[in-house]
Amino acid sequence: MSSIDKKDLINEIVHRLEEKTLSVFLGAGMSYDACCLDWTTLIKPYAEQLDTEVKDPIDALQYYQTSKGVEPVALKKEISDNFLGLKGDIRHQILSKLPIRNYWTTNFDTIMEDSITEVNFKRDIINNNDAFITAQERRDNVVYKLHGDVNTPKDVVILRDDYDNYPNTHSHFITALTNEFATNSMLFLGYSLNDPDIYNVLNCLKLHMYRLNQHIQYNQMKRSSCRSYGRIRTLCRLLFYCLL
């Protein structure tokens, strides 16, 4: 796997921000400091009640729900309530001030949209398939909640059934994300390579693009001479300093 120098990466990100062609994809790592929860600790209380060991956390939770006869929506609310009222940090503040229009996340919390609101930008939240129909026309930013959030427990994606049915229940998300990858560059923050959330989302995306026979085009970006270049570069450097 090839690596890129941090300076070159910052330069590339700044260029794309100036061109307004950068979107961000936020994972659980961006919210960990606010809740200290990862997949293992989140599922552990339920996995410990099973009569057999299930290694995959998604399968373990599904087995718990089925074997215990728990109502899916009740279980989803119980889990998503762990992410109520979380507060962001300087990383989210910086992201909200950068010229980014679209934010994508599989997190259940509302940290990113709350941070955008704090800087007086008008944001729209897409947290289920129906939200695409009622989307606001005048908006500065859009936060796409691919797995639902604390405000819509019934739409939370966390059980194996949810993932298996995702192409049908969240078809608008897949289409929108496909278009996003075809037109913008995506900066992934807070994800690991073995994260089940990003693995399942990208797998759905891969299948969708295969059916469309669509390929993402990569274009070389030219250096911008915009006056805001220095401010954006400063914010990017500060963001990367906070991420290290």
Query: What are the pLDDT digits (tens) for 188-214?
Result: 888 776 666 666 776 766 665 555 454
- State the pLDDT at residue 216: 41
- Quote the percentage of the chain above a pLDDT of 70: 77
More confident residue, 44 or 217: 44
Answer yes or no: are the C-beta atoms of 103 and 112 closer than 8 Å.
yes
Q: Where are the alpha helices (DSSP H) in 5-89?
A: 6-18, 32-35, 39-47, 57-68, 72-80
Task: Using DSSP, state whether 186 is helix, strand or coil.
Answer: strand
Average pLDDT over residues 149-167: 93
- State the pLDDT at residue 2: 53
Average pLDDT over residues 103-121: 93
Answer yes or no: are the C-beta atoms of 143 and 124 closer than 8 Å.
yes
Q: List all residues 6 or more positions away from 195 whose beta carbon is below 8 Å from its beta carbon.
A: 27, 28, 39
Model confidence, pTM: 0.83
Task: Kindly give the pairing relationship between strand 102-105 and strand 141-145.
Answer: parallel
Model confidence at 48: pLDDT above 70: yes
CA 142 to mean position of chain CA atoms: 12
- State the pLDDT at residue 182: 84
Give the integer Cα–Cα distance in Å for 40 and 62: 15
